[in-house]
Amino acid sequence: MELLESQIAGVDKNSPEAQKLDRQRKKLAAEIQRDWGYALREGIETYSSFTGLDMVVNDAQLADKSVRDLIKDPNYSREGLAKNGRDLSDGQLKNFLNDQVMMMTHHMNGFHEGHEGGADAGSAMGKYAERAVLALKMMGKDVTKPPYKALNDAAEEMVKNRKDPAALKKTMRELAETFGKNGNVDEGLLVLADLIEKAVPEAKGLWDPKLLRESANRGTDAQQANEMRAIKSQLANRRKLMEEQERELAINGPATAAASNSKKQFRLRSELEELETEQARREHLGSKYRKEDWKKAEALESEEAGLRRRLERMQNLNSPGSAQKEIRDRLSKVRSDLTGLNKSYKDEGGTGRYQRDHSDERMDRRIAAIKEEQALRKQAADKYQRQMEEEGKKMADGSGFVDDNPYQVFELPRDENSLTTSSILRVGLDGASAEIVIERP
């Protein structure tokens, strides 16, 4: 920026060159402002209290340690810090814990509103849950015992795998199954949220999706406020996506940006496919069985299909009747059990039509958000392709970059008062040095 301003000062302000430099200056200023906005938005996650800054940055990151290292270190405690002159008050630790709850609320709202998928929200939730465990430890809680142990264990596994999407999803599915839920990613996130609420009373009820619906039904003002929050969140996500695309394009060029965009498109397609499969599963099971019987019904239906295939093969191979009878008897028992589950569904008023709930509405919102992002990423892919073709044409033609190319390297300003025709620039690093002779033309 200083270089551009010095160049502008050295030319006639009404000249085409000055106008061109001024456009570049304004563009750079806009990029700086966007980058600062991004940094401030992302930076608030940890540093809204000095206690968080000290623990997460000074004690962990700058010391080349993880938050998990601090949790496991028996000497890292409130008493241990006090011996080194760092007394922490109850209020400071409470603020640190509340910061984590605040950030988790941001991601849980995004999850329920559909702007974040279960895996993306889970990646962030695991990180903040682990920091919440650290806060609880510093407050004197024994995180190796209930109700903190389950949260401590879950957070550790999620943070360990948060950089690997496939491993994180596997961890979240296993977490859901451990607590008797359907083994999918979204259920894993909801289980984690429940563990947090049990360990951190301040979070109790904050992430109930009913709050979103109730606020929309309390009257016009509340509904408008709820809709406005959703719109703001949607616009913020779109702006963040567009800034991310521009940043990657400026730093790495269109080819790398296109490759990165393609990977994210693949992830979106995979998530959309999973959601649509889950919707079909719910429609099928919800039209025949009570929700509490879904897991059992799925197992029985899977067994029924397997038994039918076995029986068909045995018939085709003319297997002995006694062997076929064993399969037929088991098939009859499985079908009887399924009929019993269907009867329980009807006895409780089941009409053969799935009754949707808030989780279905959340999936609808997530699917809509994915399709919107897919459209934006398709536009970006087309843009990157055009730019790659333009760069390829320039290289083939030998025309090089155009004059207003934003990556142009400007000539350094010269000292007009210097009487020498050359200068020596000395640079040094770790005891080594070099001299560069700069000659005036």
Question: What does the pLDDT look like over 7-32, one tens digit per residue?
Answer: 778 888 888 888 888 888 877 777 77
**Whole-angstrom distance, CA of residue 94 vs CA of residue 53:** 14
What 8-state DSSP symbol labels residue 441? -
pLDDT for residue 176 is more than 90: yes
Confidence class for position 127, pLDDT limits 50, 70, 90: very high
Hey, what's the torsion of the CAs at 192, 198, 203, 207, to 10 degrees?
50
The conformational region for residue 53 under phi > 0 = left, psi -120 to 50 = alpha, else beta, is alpha
Q: What is the pLDDT of residues 319-355, one digit of tens each?
A: 888 889 999 999 999 999 999 999 999 999 999 999 9
Both tokens assigned to 221:
């003002």
Question: In which residue are the tokens 């709050």 written?
Answer: 211
Asked whether 323 and 314 are in contact (CB, 8 A), the reply is yes
Whether the pLDDT of residue 240 is over 90: the answer is no
**Residue 29 to residue 43: CA distance in whole angstroms:** 20
Please provide residue 438's backbone torsions phi and psi, each rounded to the nearest 5 degrees: -110, 115
259's CB contacts (< 8 A; 6+ apart) are none
Residue 428 belongs to what H/E stretch? strand 422-429
Residue 177, pLDDT > 80, answer: yes
CA-nearest of 26, 29, 24 to 406 is 24
Q: Please give the Cα distance from 120 to 36 (Å, whole number).
A: 24
**pLDDT of 212 strictly over 50:** yes
Q: Is 213 within 8 Å of 114 (Cβ atoms)?
A: no
User: What tens digit of pLDDT does each residue of 387-431 get?
Assistant: 899 888 877 776 554 545 444 444 444 444 444 556 666 666 555
Q: Is the pLDDT of residue 195 over 80?
A: yes
Q: Which of 251-265, 275-289, 401-415 has the lowest mean pLDDT?
A: 401-415
* Among 182, 187, 104, residue whose Cα is nearest residue 359: 187
- Residues 125 and 107: their CA atoms lie apart, in Å, by 7
Domain boundaries, the chain: 2-243, 288-352
Statement: residue 264 has pLDDT above 70: yes
Beta pairing partners, 428: 433
140 contacts: CB under 8 Å, gap ≥ 6: 78
Residue 317, token pair as written in the block: 């191979």
The band of 434, judged by pLDDT with boundaries at 50, 70 and 90, is low
pLDDT at 397: 75
Structure tokens at 379: 């536009």
Give CA–CA dist 238/369, Å, rounded: 10
Checking if the pLDDT of 68 tops 90, the result is yes
Helix axes 185-199, 358-397, angle to 10 degrees: 120
What pLDDT is recorded for position 407?
45
Q: Amino acid identity, residue 267?
A: R
Strands (E), 2-117: none
Per-residue b or e along 126-137, where b marks 16 or more CB atoms closer than 10 Å to that residue's CB: bbbbbbbbbbbb
pLDDT per position as a tens digit, 21-65: 888 887 777 777 666 655 555 555 545 677 877 888 888 888 899
pLDDT score of 216: 46
pLDDT, averaged across the chain? 83
Give the pLDDT of residue 119: 93
Quick check: 198 pLDDT over 70?
A: yes
- Whether pLDDT at 116 is above 80: yes
What digits encode the pLDDT tens for the residues 183-193?
Answer: 789 999 999 99
**Token pair listed for 153:** 């264990």
- pLDDT value at 359 more than 80: yes
Q: How many residues does the chain have?
A: 441
User: What secondary structure letter does DSSP report for 432?
Assistant: E
Band of residue 249 on the pLDDT scale cut at 50, 70, 90: confident
User: Which residue, among 149, 118, 194, 139, has the nearest Cα to 362 in the 3D structure?
Assistant: 118
